[in-house]
Chain A
Amino acid sequence: MSRHVISRTAYFIVFGLLLVLLAATVLVAMIPLGDWSVAVALSIAALKAALIILYFMHVRHSPELVQVFSVAGFVWLALLFVFLFSDYLTRYDVTPLTG
């Protein structure tokens, strides 16, 4: 079987990047960014997830069919989020009762 083998060095580099991103997400949470802080936090989390999926989970070097499968779940999740929050986040008053 000819399979792509990612080197141990590459795994350690990805791991190092993940730790740097972890530090970044904690530090940036201490800076007052208002509504942007959740966007930044989610962007960093998405970057970490991408590193894990592409390298630790080998998707970057997998057959295209596997790549399509790996994206599928997130595509359906995106549908859920887009339609759910196009409602909840655009109401003129989203605060019911006390909050």
Chain B
Amino acid sequence: MSTTPTHLAPQFDDAEQQQLAATLGMWAFLATEVLFFGGMFAGYGVYRAWYPPTWADASRHLDLLLGTVNTAVLLTSSLTVALAVHAAQTGSRKGVVRNLSLTILFGAAFLGVKAYEYWHKWHEHHVPGATFEWHEASPSGPAELFFSFYFVMTGFHALHMVIGLGILAWLIVQARRDRFDAEYYTPVEMTGLYWHFVDIVWVFLFPLLYLIDRT
């Protein structure tokens, strides 16, 4: 080998092997994330099967328009992060910084809408706990349970997004310092995988929480 790239760690034969190791490691981590969220989806499924009418009632109390718009916003942020990886692959530093910035913008917009929804739920007394109130004909206990799942699942999803936003901001700093080029952009690609995974979690959360019964 004539020249060894500066980013190549000593335990790897070449850059390609190093990149494959990083990708495999990332997917192994994402498998643990699938199971982390999967446990909550399983619990959700059991209780929804137990209390179908009440959960349908409770689901109708979520704002369908805000939920739909937010899903579109998050899908757009997935597009921009994919475009950031594309820009890195083609060696466009400007493209990386621009698309990562757009991703932060859309991610922050999603969290803003989510915060508004939480605030609205607080005012409607739909936050589980001492202040919970339920004025429908259906029983209040199962409804409170629905909102417990709603807040825990969307809360963990939002926490993942906050972490993602931090990593994206760090990536922008690194990109501006010229740390990436067409040969080495693994951190951009791995962050992309993480961000897409968070998007996938929402793709399932949205219909299961907002769309139980809208007929």
Binding site for B on A (CB under 8 A): 1, 3, 5-6, 8, 11-12, 15, 18-19, 22, 25-26, 29-32, 37-38, 41-42, 44-45, 48-49, 52-53, 55-57, 62-63, 65-66, 69-70, 72-74, 76-77, 80-81, 84-85, 88-89, 94-96, 98-99
Contacts and interface: CB of A to CB of B under 8 A. Distances in A.
A31 B215 CA distance: 6
B50 A25 contact: no
B139 A99 contact: yes
Interface of B: 15-16, 19-20, 23-24, 27-28, 30-35, 38-39, 42, 45-46, 49-54, 64, 68, 71-72, 75-76, 78-79, 81-83, 86, 89-90, 139, 141-142, 183, 192-193, 196-197, 199-200, 203-204, 206-208, 211-215
A11 B83 contact: yes
Contacts of A29: 207, 211, 213-215
Contact of A45 (B50, B82, B141, B203): B203
Contacts of B83: 8, 11
A8 B79 CA distance: 10
Contact of B45 (A8, A49, A85, A95): A85
A49 B64 contact: no
B143 to A, nearest CB: 11
B139 A69 contact: no
A99 B51 contact: yes
B196 A80 contact: no
A45 B206 CA distance: 9
A81 B45 contact: yes
Contacts of B76: 15
Contacts, number: 146
21 contacts: A1-B15, A11-B79, A15-B78, A22-B68, A25-B206, A29-B213, A32-B215, A38-B212, A44-B207, A45-B206, A48-B203, A49-B200, A53-B196, A66-B23, A66-B27, A73-B31, A73-B32, A73-B34, A85-B45, A85-B49, A95-B51
Given A41-B207, A49-B200, 19 more contacts: A6-B86, A11-B79, A19-B72, A19-B75, A22-B71, A31-B215, A41-B211, A45-B206, A48-B200, A66-B23, A69-B27, A73-B35, A77-B35, A80-B39, A81-B38, A88-B45, A94-B49, A99-B50, A99-B142
A65 B27 CA distance: 10
A97 to B, nearest CB: 9
Given A1-B15, A73-B35, A99-B139, A12 B79 contact: yes
Contacts of B34: 73-74, 76-77
B110 to A, nearest CB: 14
B195 to A, nearest CB: 9
Contact of A81 (B42, B71, B214): B42
Nearest to B189: A58
B200 A11 contact: no
